[in-house]
Amino acid sequence: MSPSSPLTRRVLLAAPAVLACAAAPRGVASSRAVTPLSGLHRRATRGNRFFGTAIDPGLLAHDPAYMARVPQECGIVVSESAFKWGALRPRPDAYSFDGADALAEYAARHGLPLRGHTLLWHKDNPAWLDEALTPAGGERLLTEHIRAVAGHFRGRVVHWDVANEAVWPPDGRPGGLRDSPWHRALGPAALDLAFHACAEADPAPLRFLNEDQIEYAWDAHARKRGAVLDLLADLLARGVPVQALGMQAHLEAGVTDLDQTALARFCADVASLGLRIAVTELDVRDNRLPADPAIRDAEVAAHARAYLDAVLPCPAVLGVLTWGLSDRRTWLNDEIPRADGLPQRALPLDAALRRKPLWHALAAAFESAPPRPA
Ligand code: G3I
């Protein structure tokens, strides 16, 4: 994969689903039919970008309609949880790849490039890790895990979120790093170890630092953007092989503090380090909005559009993944439920897999953004 291309051209344009559709007999693909040629990824590729989504293991296993819809809209997928320590490591001496392999096999079957998420995080770790993660044993534990996991998926993954949410200035650690079990055991060197181990196990995937809470004009977000930039510059200066920044973009409709200028400047600053960028977990929660679906859908769409119009023009921004494709399933209903108990309307498709205003906002943002250089 060349540095400027979001994915290899082969996987972008030759996905069987796309070719199959192009060959569909006349009259099959009516104007209302959903075909990969009209999907969000296809629209993103016209500007040399990608669109994809995160897949929950439960949907992959039990919702064929949802999984049939993914290739019609997406050109890359990632697992919400199957590639994390919590899913992969039932015991210190064991790996359980079944869930992750199931998504990898689905992705390969549909010609969909796969993101790996994530090799180093302070959450979703197995219970045994706390005891095993000592200054003496931590380095071997981390590097062996990454060698095993990145090695297992060698040749099957195009991106790795090597480190997830490593920056949290309120913890007061030097460099604004998060007070995580990894940091307590290994210090800042945990990041260096992770990126080097990933590069050694599989040099091909683009290696990301994936970060949240860097979206708004709030002091905390501005402080974190600064800390992320400083960390990336420091890693690069020390020869740590980080190549890209993931901006999670878990947004909230009704928040008025979206500073498009600050966002565009942040993307330019990251790009000036020679790094690529992806929007990795876009969704727009609607907790602040009234129950009326039409109001929620319109404000969610407008909010996402404002964010994407700020970041997509940066040539370093390779593409966008949403954290789920349909309101049928979003982590938000589990973790940040609406006070009225109504399901969130945070994603491009509704629970019946129909396109919503957010879908059209994404399509319009891809179509209006200046094409990325080839
Ligand atoms: O698979 C098990 C199942 O066997 C078990 O019966 C069930 C009940 O315990 O748990 C299932 O695993 C859950 C997994 O999702 C799959 O559904 C885990 O408990 C649960 O913690 C996990 O939640 C995920 C969370 O990350 C933690 O890994 C969410 O789905 C996922 O959306 C969320 O994603 C994070 C990103 O990784 C980082 N950015 C924030 C984002 C939202 O929190």
Q: Ligand 1 center to residue 368 CA distance, Å?
A: 34
In this predicted model, what pLDDT tens digit does every residue of 1-32 receive, in sequence order?
444 456 754 443 333 333 333 333 333 333 34
Measured in whole angstroms, the distance separating CA 234 from the mean position of its chain's CA atoms is: 23
Cis-peptide into 118, omega within 30 deg:
yes
Q: Ligand 1 center to residue 56 CA distance, Å?
A: 8
Q: Ligand 1 center to residue 80 CA distance, Å?
A: 7
Spatial distance between the Cα atoms of 241 and 263, rounded to a whole number of angstroms = 24
57 lines ligand 1 (CB under 6 A): yes
283 lines ligand 1 (CB under 6 A): no
331 lines ligand 1 (CB under 6 A): yes
Helices then strands, each counted (H, E), the chain: 16, 9
Decide if pLDDT at 147 tops 50. yes
Span 115-130, mean pLDDT?
97
| pTM confidence score | 0.92
Helix, strand, coil % over all residues of the chain, rounded to 5:
45, 15, 40
In this predicted model, what pLDDT tens digit does every residue of 290-315 receive, in sequence order?
999 999 999 999 999 999 999 999 99
Helix segments in 53-161, DSSP class H: 57-62, 64-73, 85-88, 98-109, 129-132, 135-152
The residue contributing the CA closest to ligand 1 atom 24 is 81
The residue contributing the CA closest to ligand 1 atom 43 is 331
Q: Ligand 1 center to residue 77 CA distance, Å?
A: 16
In this predicted model, what pLDDT tens digit does every residue of 260-288 receive, in sequence order?
999 999 999 999 999 999 999 999 999 99
The residue contributing the CA closest to ligand 1 atom 6 is 58
